[in-house]
Amino acid sequence: MDIVNVARSLQVGSDERALTQTLLNDTVAEAFDRITMLYNSPFIGRHSLGDGTSSHDFPIVGNSPEDGVYHIPGQFIEGGTTAQTKINISVDDPWIKALRLPYIDQVLARWDVVAKAAQECARITAERLESLAIRMALTAARTGSVANVHDGGNRVIVTNTGGRTGAFPLTSSGADAFEQRIADLATLMDQDNLPRALGDRVLITTPYMLQVLTNSNRLTNTDYTNRGSPGGVDISSRAVGFIHGFAVMPPTNFMPTTNITTDLTKYNGNFSFEASQTSVEPVALALVRSSNGASVAMPEVGGGVSSLVYSDNNRDSTLVRTRTMFGMGVWCPWLAGEIGVRHTSP
C-alpha cells in the first residue's frame, strides 16, 4: 500500500502558505519620538528675514544714568543718553534631512510610507534645532556682563569629584541638594529683577536629575488609592510641578555633556565633566520669558521649516525632504541660567 502525501493547492515544497498573502499592520509608526520644548517656543526670539537678507540686528537697551527728579514747571527738560548695543545674528547654511524611498518599498508596504517618512524628516530636523537651541541657551547663561547694559547670565556651579551622581545622588539628600541649587539660581534671578509671574520661568533638566527630585519627601505630589488594585496595594504617583518659581518641564536628552567642536563655531562649547578640569557639565537650564526679548534670538528665511515630496522617475523613487534655514545667537543672556557640576574649582 502506497502512502500519498497530499499537498495544498498553493503549497510550494514544504511551505503550505508560500503563495498566500502576508498582511502587515501599521500600528507601530516611528520607533523614536523625542520631546522638543525650545523649538517653536516663546523662549526664542524669532525674526523672519526678507528676500536677500542674511542677518538681523537684535537691540539691547541698557541703563540710563539719571534718576527721576521733581520738575519745576517752566524749566527746560534735558536728559542724558542711554547705553545700548546690538547683537547681529547671521543665518547659517541650510539644515536638511531627506529620505529616498524606492518605488518597490512603497508598493509592497501596503501603507502610506511617504507620510511616515515625511513625519520622520520633520522630527529629525526639529530635534537638530532643539539641540542647537539648548546649546545656545547654555551659552547665554555663560555670557558675561556688558558694562551699563546687562549683568550677563546666572550660574550656580557645584564642585564635586564624583560628577553629577556625586553631587546629586539618588537619595533624599541628593534631592535636597538639587533643590537648594535651584533656590540659589532663583535668588540670583530675583536680584536681577527678572519676571517671576507664574509661568514666566521654566527649568529644563535631564531624566536623571528629574529622578533625583522624585526622591524628595517634600517636592512631589503623592496620591494613594486602592481603586483597581485587586490586592489592595497602594499606588503612589509622583509628579514634580513648580519649584521656587520654576515650572519644571519634561526631561530632555538634548542637554550636552561633551566638548563640542565639530559644528559651526557659535554652537561649540565645552559641556563636559572632566577629571582635574574646570569645565562644567550642565544638569539644568533655566529660562525666563520676558516681553523685552528672549535669551536666544533666531532669524529665519523662507518662513521657517518647509517640506517637499516629489517623484524621481529617473531613480524610480520618491524623495522626501525637510529643510530649514536659520541662525541662532545670544540675545538677552540675563534671561538664562545654568546649574552645573565641575571637577575642580578654578
H or E segment to which residue 139 belongs: helix 113-141
* Cα 153 off chain centre by: 18
Does 235 have pLDDT greater than 50? no
Mean pLDDT of 115-127: 89
Query: Quick one: residue 232, left, alpha or beta (phi over 0 = left, psi -120 to 50 = alpha)?
Result: left
User: What's the average model confidence in pLDDT over 147-166?
Assistant: 93
- Answer yes or no: is pLDDT of 42 > 80: yes
Least confidently predicted of 4-18, 71-85, 216-230, 249-263: 216-230
Q: What is the pTM of this model?
A: 0.84
Dihedral, CA of residue 96, residue 101, residue 102 and residue 105, to nearest 10: 160
Q: Cβ contacts of residue 326 below 8 Å, gap of 6+?
A: 91, 92, 95, 129, 298, 299, 300, 301, 304
Average pLDDT, the chain: 86
* Contact of 55 with 71, CB cutoff 8 Å: no
What integer pLDDT is reported at residue 181 of this predicted model? 97
- The residues, ordered by sequence, that sit 6+ positions from 185 with a Cβ below 8 Å of its Cβ are 154, 156, 286, 337, 339
Q: Determine which of 72-76, 150-154, 290-294, 312-316 has the lowest per-residue pLDDT on average.
A: 290-294
Per-residue pLDDT averaged across 170-198, rounded?
Answer: 94
pLDDT-above-90 percentage for the chain? 47
Q: What is the mean pLDDT of residues 236-255?
A: 84
Residue 268 reports pLDDT greater than 80: yes
Q: Is the pLDDT of residue 226 over 60?
A: no
* pLDDT digit string, tens, across residues 43-82: 888 888 888 889 999 988 888 877 888 889 999 988 888 8
**Position with higher pLDDT, 50 vs 221:** 50
Please state, in angstroms and rounded to a whole number, the distance separating the CA atoms of residues 264 and 257.
Answer: 17
Distance in angstroms (rounded) separating the CA atoms of residues 42 and 54: 23
Give the model's pLDDT for residue 202: 94
Q: How far apart are CA 20 and CA 60, in angstroms?
A: 70
Residue 4: predicted pLDDT: 56
3-state secondary structure of 317: strand
Separation of CA 214 from chain center: 21
Phi, then psi, of 65 in degrees rounded to 5: -70, -20
d(CA 203, CA 287) in angstroms, rounded, equals 7
Span 298-313, average pLDDT? 86
- Average pLDDT (22-31) is 66
User: What integer is the mean pLDDT of 79-99?
Assistant: 88
| pLDDT for residue 15 | 79
Range from 26-30, 101-105, 200-204, 281-285 carrying the lowest mean pLDDT: 26-30
Residue 206 predicted with pLDDT over 80: yes
DSSP β-ladder status, 246-248 and 242-243: antiparallel
Calculate ∠ Cα 128-136-306, nearest 5°: 35
- In this structure, of 24-33, 78-87, 211-220, the range with the lowest mean pLDDT score is 24-33
Helix (H) or strand (E) holding 137: helix 113-141
